[in-house]
Amino acid sequence: MSGQANTLMPLPVAVHASQGEFAITPAVTLSLGEAHNSLLEAAARRMMERLQMQTGVALAHDPVAGVAAFNVSVADASATLPALGMDESYSLDVTSSGVALKAETIFGAMHGFETLLQLVQPEGAGFVLPAVHIDDAPRFAWRGLMIDSGRHFMPEDVVLRTLDGMAAVKLNVLHWHLSEDQGFRVESLKYPKLQGMGSNGDFYTQQQVREVVQYAAARGIRVVPEFDIPGHATSWLVGYPELASKAATYEVQTTFGVHDAALDPTRESTYMFLDGLFGEMAGLFPDEFFHIGGDESNGKDWNGNPKIVAFMREHSLKDSKALQAYFNLRVEAILKKHHRQMIGWDEVLHPDLPQSVVIHNWHGPEFVAEGVKQGHRVIYSQAFYLDHMTSSGEMYAADPVPVSLNLTPEEQKLVLGGEACMWSEHVTGFTIDSRIWPRMAAIAERMWSPATVRDTEDMYRRLAVESLRLDALGLTHISGPQRGLRMMAGSVRGAEELAVLTSTLQPVGFGERYRMQKTTQLTPMDSLIDFTSPDPLSAHQFGLLVAAYLQSKDATQKDALTKVFQHWVDASAALDAIAVDHPLVARYPVRREQLIQLGQMGLAALRYMDEKKAAPADWIAAQKALLAAAAKHAELVEFAVLKPLGSLVDAAAKP
């Protein structure tokens, strides 16, 4: 159980392989020992169902009494709601006679279940668990994913399946961004115009919120709601313009970016409203933390309102930052009354802010330093912006405790952990999975595993396996784009040809799309870019294949590369034919044309190397020109295979 056999993700703290294995047979049953509860029973049942699915072996799903092949023992099963700082550790012992899983809490045991499923390996005609002892516990207590249901609403089933994926990679916080300029997404019974007028009708009923919170808790995941104030709050003002800093009629925004609208922090009625709303929401969200956003409030509507300016003068608030600090203090008091600890984005950091407030970092790492130096606990997100389309490797290289900061051990302790952020300017419920997964798994490992776990190539190797596991769990990062390509190509076969093209591509970054497409909330999110995966594993694997071939000149690898290039050539030709009567395919002439050029380039490079003669200078020059052209942005997608291809051309240039 080491090297290539180890496909665990996130990697545990300690894995000690030994001799032997335990075979999965229909006789396998699971026992929960003395301390258990209904959440643990349900988790055990789900685990057995998934084990059955993985192995094709019919298994009894219900836990049995007494000693079984899988023995789970939990020290204390009294906690049924995950909380910050809960004990998530577990140990797992696999021997030839069975499995012992031990944990302090049911949530630790659930992590053990996930590790157990990841240990399953084929052996002969069946499947086994290799003998191993694992001791494991998370490096950070806060390991989250932020979902933005504000800019584009995410239907409940999307949220639920996301929670499945989160549990699989041992994440424990769903940060749910629930209000934005573009929509207020939770039903308030107290202030029904919030969702009634402040959304397009897409919001979560209180019943749905309860379902999500319960589903998450059953998987050891806390749900932290965010209601973004005082800015990013246009949707609140549609139904309740009396909260606004500027007398106006408001409409739900369809454009993105920073809007001027903001709550009026000078009126007592604003705080009464927040008290009422947050009290109601505290009844829906049991977690002790509550996120108030606080980002990107530009102060324009404050400075434009004489009454607010007068208030600032009166209270010696020298600028809008000081006024926001005043506002935050008031909001913090309200939350404290409702037994909630406040979280805010970097912008809430201010000398007057109580130390109990948690700073959520999204700007440069210097804000992390600033936050902990002022004694705040900090959550890190800066490098973990999934919407930026950064590669898994780049995000994996970042750290919630950036080494560059040289934090003291005491300061480091104030970093609770991190969160990946899935802002939804460019994401809908149909496309979100391929933006989160599998990259999220790499970030999850960064937040769970020891800081010393740093082998990016090994991460990619395991990520490819994890991606398939997440697919089997019901996430749609593979099936969704495939469906999208079928819609574009109008046939299963045509979609397969398009998939050859997208296997070489990735979406342009966030800013580029925003600028090029002039995106708003009404922009359709169903074109090639949306069915193209950021940092596609196919491209990474192509890179490895080229590197291996260049080192070994092995014939098998050459054949594999030839096949890849021939696929590109064939697919490009096939797509040209499809494009004739499929307008959605016809829209990408540049990348289709370049795909055949790149394929032919690869084939020719392989031929030159095969013939052991240097490629002629004019061919080299022509290829460099083609590579440079292919590197230019076009059609909102960029090639993810140019670097390895360039190195093949370089190699062909040498005799």
Catalytic residue IDs: 296
- DSSP string across 560-581: HHHHHHHHHHHHHHHHHHHHTT
Please report whether residue 483 would count as binding a copy of itself according to CB under 8 A. yes
Looking at the Cβ atoms of 54 and 456, the one nearer to a copy of itself is 54
Q: Let me know: does 474 contact 488? Beta carbons within 8 Å.
A: no
Stretch that binds a copy of itself, among 67-75, 491-499, 611-619, 640-648 (CB under 8 A): 491-499
| C-alpha to C-alpha distance for 349 and 382, rounded to whole angstroms | 16
Helix then strand then coil, in percent of the chain rounded to 5, is 45, 15, 35
CB of 526 to a copy of itself, least distance (A): 5
- Integer Rg of the chain from CA: 27
Shortest Cβ distance from residue 207 to a copy of itself (Å)?
Answer: 7
- CB within 8 Å of 448: residues ≥ 6 apart: 10, 138, 139, 140, 143, 169, 170
Closest CB to a copy of itself among 95 and 523? 523
Q: Tell me the two tokens of residue 500.
A: 């050859």
Identified binder of a copy of itself from the candidate list 471, 512, 576, 650, rule CB under 8 A = 471
Number of residues near a copy of itself (by CB under 8 A) = 41
From residue 131 to residue 170, the character string flagging contacts with a copy of itself as x (rule: CB under 8 A) and all else as - is --------------------------x-------------
Single out the residue of 64, 67, 122, 621 in contact with a copy of itself (rule: CB under 8 A).
122
Which of the ranges 176-184, 418-426, 476-484, 596-604 carries the binding residues for a copy of itself, by CB under 8 A? 476-484
Q: In the structure encoding, which two tokens stand for residue 70, read together?
A: 């899988």
- The answer to the question of residue 522 lying near a copy of itself (CB under 8 A) is yes
**Contact status: 57 vs a copy of itself (CB under 8 A):** yes
What is the C-alpha separation between 29 and 62, in angstroms, rounded?
8
Q: Candidates 234-242, 378-386, 413-421, 579-587 — which segment interacts with a copy of itself by CB under 8 A?
A: 579-587
Q: How far is the CB of 126 from a copy of itself (least distance, A)?
A: 6
Burial-class residue 108 by CB neighbours within 10 Å (0-12, 13-18, 19+): buried
* Distance (Å, whole) CA 302 – CA 311: 10
3-state SS class at 291 = strand
State which of residues 453, 472, 614, 634 lies at the interface with a copy of itself (CB under 8 A).
472
* Binding window for a copy of itself (CB under 8 A); candidates: 51-59, 272-280, 332-340, 438-446: 51-59
Is 468 a binder of a copy of itself (CB under 8 A)?
A: yes
Contact between 380 and 106 under an 8 Å Cβ cutoff? The reply is no
**Residue 486: CB minimum distance to a copy of itself, A:** 6
Residue type, 156: E
Residue 250 buriedness (CB in 10 A; 0-12 / 13-18 / 19+): buried
For a copy of itself, which is the closer residue by CB, 407 or 579?
Answer: 579
By beta-carbon proximity to a copy of itself, the closer residue of 582 and 643 is 582
Q: How far is CA 11 from the centre of its chain?
A: 18
Q: Are 602 and 648 in contact (CB under 8 A)?
A: yes
For a copy of itself, the binding residues (CB under 8 A) are 52-58, 60, 122, 124-127, 157, 207, 465, 468, 471-472, 476, 478-479, 482-483, 486-487, 490-492, 496, 522-524, 526-527, 581-584, 586-587
